Structure 1
Amino acid sequence: MSSQTDVQVQRIRAIGLTVKSCDRSLDFYTQALAFELVSDITVEEQYYSELEGVTGAKIRIVTLRLGDELIELMEYLNIQGKPIPSNSQSNDLWFQHLAIVVSDMDRAYTHLRSFSIEPISVAPQTIPPGNQASGGVRAFKFKDPDGHDLELIWFPPDKGQDKWHQNTNRLFLGIDHSAIAISNTEQSLNFYRNLLGMQINSRSLNWRATQSRLDNLPGAEVKITALRPVQDGMGIELLDYIVPEQGRPMPSDWKSCDIAHIQIELVVNNLEQLVDKLRRNGVQFVSSRIVQFADSSFPYKQGCLVKDPDGHTILLITQ
């Protein structure tokens, strides 16, 4: 498609999570999941507030690495954000999880259980062999201290990227994808594939008892579309729930400072051109404009925060 040759997402740089306390989250991610500290900065410049659409914000950003992948813990030091609704479920449209790849599910699960986590899944589940795209994959879903959804995932030899199968003594290997609940697959594909230039990697239908136990949703049936950027690496999975039907929509008044906020940072090859294209297609913008970063210590040169059709936030950046 010609639209994929001009402006497109190159790769996912990081996933940003708004947290109540960076110290608490830092302890959890480094101890329970073996992430390593990369940097710890505090920003209170006007341009960063403008990027996130929150006036006068003072934000502590702690960057952590697991394997090749990065997450950013973002604590709004001077603004009290709303907590994640305690009754959130996997089919609510604000649902978004990070899939953390492990080399040994039983060992990883045992290690994780020594921390006070809130499980979603009954126990680690194995996808039945009849599922072509993900048969044999083992997974376990749980929540971090703020209620952000996480998944441990183990790939059998014939599934997943090559890098998940290299010999290593590490238990936690990296992040395979971020999965988001959506209301309509075609609508989301129009955004992620047609407008952003990501490519479909696989499609599957996950259902029956395994999915119900994994999601803690009776009769769960979910249509999954996996997308990868052109340079591969971390991907995005679209979760379109057929049963139970899609849950609650994302409240329109949620802001970047609210704890449910997760932003996927996408490195793009031409930000001005892409922003222009998104405006023409009626995409919702959080940033009023493309924000330039003068500080050379910052990991990107310019950025613009937008929302996908269901309200998930996407930070478009150039490095």
Structure 2
Amino acid sequence: MRALIGFGRTVADLAVTEAFYRDGLGFARIAPPEPLPPAQAEAMGLGDRRATQLRMRLGAQTVTFLTVDPPGAPYPADPAATDPFFQHLAIPVRDMAAAMAQLAPLSPIPISRGGPQRLPESTGGVTAYKFRDPDGHPLELIVFPGGPPADRWREAPGLFLGIDHSAITVTDLEATLAFLTGPLGLTLAERGLNQGPEQARLDGLDDPQVDVLALEPSEPVPHVELLHYRVPATERRLVFGPADRAATRYVFGATDLDRLFATDRPESPRLRISADRTAAYCSGPGGHGFLFLRN
């Protein structure tokens, strides 16, 4: 049994991060900053560094922000939506104008050009806006026009409703799809091709063509999305570890960590498990991090 239970991001300053997510996006801390549990540090290869975490929530979803001393590599300069280390958190909001007004004093770094964009009905008809937090990690505000996605958030309180999904940019779509639907057991729920001027403004790119795949765990919220840019192609092939500022993580709960990757298929990367068998970590085919905690 595997369930998507949260997300992780490596950041430079927990106080700066907390202020941004609390004041701009409505997050609340779960606990004060605390040492990363030893089993997780061991699994993530951080046993020789001081790692401190801040756990925050938005609605029912949790994000764990991590600082590491000594720090790893800085966030790469001039990041783009096509970079293979891209991973955004998509936050549904009740009112886009009100959400943008609350966020504005925090001076988010824009990704989208020209403010929020309404995508064509053929690609979902959502209104969305992409931007970056103080470290460079991407985020997305989104308003669903109706249907099951809107129904999932209808009863959620507040302006910022929770985390609907986290999307990663991938260069090898089939390998990542095999990894997520095989060892991790996610189900391909939807697949489409987004393009056109609205998508270009949303992504801050010229004439993109992007495959968008939605994959669902046992519960549809939160879920995983894959972004595969046919055009433009990225030339970046950077590798990150959990200490590096560009590092992000999906956090899954699992009942048996030793059986996560029972076969030696190419799409099943090497898994590092803590000595007490309560935490495990690996990188997916595109380098994105996956942390597994025994439940």
- TM-score, normalization by structure 1: 0.87
Render the CA deviation track for 1:110-168: whole Å, top value 9, x for unaligned: 2212221111102100111232xx1x201000000000001111111225152312274
Residue 283 in structure 1 maps to residue 268 in structure 2: yes
Match of 1:306, SS state, is strand
Contact 1:99 1:178 in 2 (8 A): yes
| C-alpha deviation, 1:47, in angstroms | 3.5
Matches within 5 A, 1:142-291: 142-160=131-149, 162-166=151-155, 168=157, 170-251=158-239, 254-277=240-263, 279=264, 281=266, 283-285=268-270, 287=272, 289-291=273-275
| C-alpha deviation, 1:80, in angstroms | 1.9
Match of 2:94 in 1: 103
Contact 2:83 2:169 in 1 (8 A): yes
| C-alpha deviation, 1:280, in angstroms | 5.2
Decide whether aligned partners of structure 1 residues 190 and 167 sit closer, same or farther in structure 2, where only a CA change above 3 A counts: closer
Match of 2:276 in 1: 292
C-alpha separation in 2, matches of 1:44 and 1:190: 31
Match of 1:276, SS state, is coil
C-alpha separation in 1, matches of 2:112 and 2:275: 40
| C-alpha deviation, 1:213, in angstroms | 0.3
Render the CA deviation track for 1:47-89: whole Å, top value 9, x for unaligned: 343211134121111110101100001111x212221112111
C-alpha separation in 1, matches of 2:207 and 2:36: 47
Contact 2:39 2:274 in 1 (8 A): no
Contact 1:291 1:304 in 2 (8 A): no
C-alpha separation in 2, matches of 1:167 and 1:62: 24
Decide whether aligned partners of structure 1 residues 245 and 88 sit closer, same or farther in structure 2, where only a CA change above 3 A counts: same
Residue 303 in structure 1 maps to residue 276 in structure 2: no
C-alpha separation in 1, matches of 2:93 and 2:106: 17
Matches within 5 A, 1:58-137: 58-76=50-68, 78-122=69-113, 123-131=115-123, 134=124, 136-137=125-126
C-alpha separation in 2, matches of 1:17 and 1:100: 16
Work out the percentage of aligned pairs sharing the same amino acid.
Answer: 32
Render the CA deviation track for 1:2-61: whole Å, top value 9, x for unaligned: xxxxxx52x211101111000110011000000011012432665343211134121111
Aligned length: 294
Decide whether aligned partners of structure 1 residues 309 and 65 sit closer, same or farther in structure 2, where only a CA change above 3 A counts: same
